[in-house]
Structure 1
């Protein structure tokens, strides 16, 4: 009797599985492909690829297994497709799941474009292994979220995946899950394995939001727009739980950006004692104006600006006062000159302009982000970006300001100093603000603000300026430009120039 009852229950379950309710596929037993996807030999992303299916193709269902559907192919063979990328053929609605559709880039460099065509402008590039949120698809193109905007990439270079909203295996950066590095120095790799290339490193005590988890590996954003994988067994993972009661308060602050200055006194004119890393935590001794007095590892006291840290303790929260508040919600495109095969100028001692411009841009990026600006880098690695592409990025994001960063050269090695450039009359004011503030901060020779016939400002319909931040051809100035102190001063000067510009205009 028990055996017969079990058979009846099994049959009822099997029939119910094909009724049009819940997450089940309708009784027609047919699905329609809703984006360009891979059909595989088995129910998982690790199985070999059988073929690529195109939008609108229809297949007969053989069976379901977890999140995967076995389908009948035209060759008479079978294949497997993920259920989050197909639709029910009867009502053409996407099968309900608790998943967010994402794509993983499977080529070394992938152009991101304004529309689904190779003729459209490029607004950036993605690197192999990076994940993107998929918004939709059209023909052989996939619409993704890129720097807060909708953009397009070629579907053939994306590997579709899914991230469960609540899962132990994959975590969204919005989930509140935080990982703290427990190793003294932890390598960041391009993929989720020890065989993957090392792309960077993080240090003990640094804290990161967890983007994804794959086996025992965790994906993090270790620098602005730079992603990689770290070994999960060297991360102390914690998820805040509202039901567990309030988190115990402690009087400490956490650094939010790499290279943050800790100074001798509570002002930006004081000497720098050390530069802290993102995630470093310090005990607060007292508050002084808009600064925190903090205890350093050697027991001495240093000062850090309250607007450069996050506060998880009893000390009052500090917001930056003054002109910096005018940067909030402004869209600023930073354009580090040259890159990739284009080295730019080469200094007297071999300094490559392309390396120095990205260094300055990253420092400025961190300062602007801290003030609440929406900041976009035309490049964040040693990548070649054409001049029209750089201008297209400014247009695509409707930038409030576009700042192109360069270092100069001259056959006369005695020439030195900073120069600001504009092309259109409406760009002159921005160039003047950037220039005067940078000169004031760096104390380099004053070469003035001039008309300049440069593509990135000439063809730019947005408010744009080009800054030449010193001469690499001058051996003495080259040494200055390479110093941490100059780089910090240059970034601060440009930051102050932008803040004052938006305050007054």
Structure 2
């Protein structure tokens, strides 16, 4: 008994002697308490660094050190992270300070005119206003592609690349901080990013087709951009100047109904333009032109002006007449053409990538097309591209179908389980978490209840992941993964389900995501994976591409692909709930 007591006393002394000094040393630096509902913790002292965890209001952490506007905190015994000092309260030597950052430490300003502010982080969210170049805003939240801001009208989201931040890392030069973009553009084909304006420069990344860019300077036939928060160069041959999705688009006589009680008509398509008239709720006008979601109308006989398009409902019955060249082109092999505009309808024909069909009409999210034998069939709008001047599928309004739905997002692997390792060293566990954060932000903005099985680099057993779907009574469980194969030429995306009742969800999510990202389609199939096999809720496991393929790895890690993947899953969920 005495020996046991002595042994316990020795152990206690060793533990006390080893760990107490460390705790005292850390405590001397003080603690922080999270002051906002959800706060992003990053792996470096700047908004440009990758997220490592999201923490909640009221959580407390020990301070390790401070750098500029950022504080390094102890997240766990072996993990640290950085948090902005304007979203915490700090306690040092018994003194508590709130929002220790100065008022301009969480601000930014628009670097382009007519910058669209949206209700959520994605182009599929409705436009709620505009910012003009130089207009200052407060930053309240962000992810790698979108920033949540507070402006004069309300809170909203804008594309990160069109903001210049005032809270730059202290390691960034003053000259770089003050550098402003001189123009904007978008990439017309997959494009190498180099460290200098020459084909001999080292390739430091790739940009996908359609990626929007801010241009900082031009040298010979090269354009300077920002890539991973540093100066980089791309060939001007593959860049089209201007902003693709802010071009003027004629509307060809569509009728719009005013939804605001009293709406100003202005001399131009801007909130800064002079007011030339007003219109009232319920009035109908022919939309003569559309620019940046402003509608040109004849508000009184002989008088023309512009009104905010987000206060109009377009009448579906007045869709413009189809032109003779209006066609759809199939994106993937084996695409179903159905008898009626629903996924439950009989399949009339399976079409392959590149085949084109004449459009007869549009019904909700479906195109009615003419088949080679002269009969009519229907193809889902998210499985095709269109040419000619035919009407497009309206992808707005997804929020209505996602609101109050409970979604559990499962970022595969984590902690001691790295998952697949890419040809260039990318860890699957990190990439799944990036995708999960982007998807979570979109779903939350739509009013969904979102739960992540892990929100940091932590290990969670498979049964525990499935249990969360049951505990939260989820409407959908989305497990995110990236694939690997010894044959490094293998590429493409695959969707998996196990139970027959999960097939419909898998098809909707997969088809939408694959169409959005345009990766090689490997289809939807049954898979004996624990998180879908043991799941009694609706569930799908998405393998979003092959990290073992070096070219595909570069695509998968790009911000554009991550945005497209999250958008595709978001749209797929909305369509699933809409048709359920």
TM-score bin (small chain): 0.3 to 0.5
TM-score w.r.t. length of structure 1: 0.47
